[in-house]
Amino acid sequence: KQEVTQIPAALSVPEGENLVLNCSFTDSAIYNLQWFRQDPGKGLTSLLLIQSSQREQTSGRLNASLDKSSGRSTLYIAASQPGDSATYLCAGLNYGGSQGNLIFGKGTKLSVKP
């Protein structure tokens, strides 16, 4: 059964710092990995999706990588800003039955201090 773990649970950094959020998964037979942002009391905003055949994806200041062999994904945020403060979730897509469902980690709560 797929398990997704995110470390650290919380992270506080000063504005402008580059940072890395970690995600690990137990079953390397994932089809893709999706990173989300969740603001307090809000829904999930999809940030990046990496297919199993890819190693990384970039969007603006965000870069996500995927290493299936080691069961790890990272989300790199460059030049962090206070507006980046949120909880970041990673989720792996496993194909179970006829259609896949996302298996989520518990998230990393990021706080960027001005």
In the complex, minimum distance from the CB of residue 17 to another protein, in angstroms, rounded to a whole number: 27
Compare residues 18 and 101 and give the one whose CB is closer to another protein: 101
Compare residues 75 and 80 and give the one whose CB is closer to another protein: 75
In the complex, minimum distance from the CB of residue 6 to another protein, in angstroms, rounded to a whole number: 10
End-to-end CA distance of the chain: 41
74 closest CA partner among 57, 97, 86, 98: 57
C-alpha 45 chain-centroid distance: 11
Contact indicator for 9, 22 with CB cutoff of 8 Å = no
In the complex, the residues that contact another protein under the rule CB under 8 A are 31-32, 34, 36, 41-46, 49, 51-52, 89, 91, 93, 96-107
Compare residues 14 and 43 and give the one whose CB is closer to another protein: 43
Task: Kindly state the greatest CA–CA separation across the chain.
Answer: 47
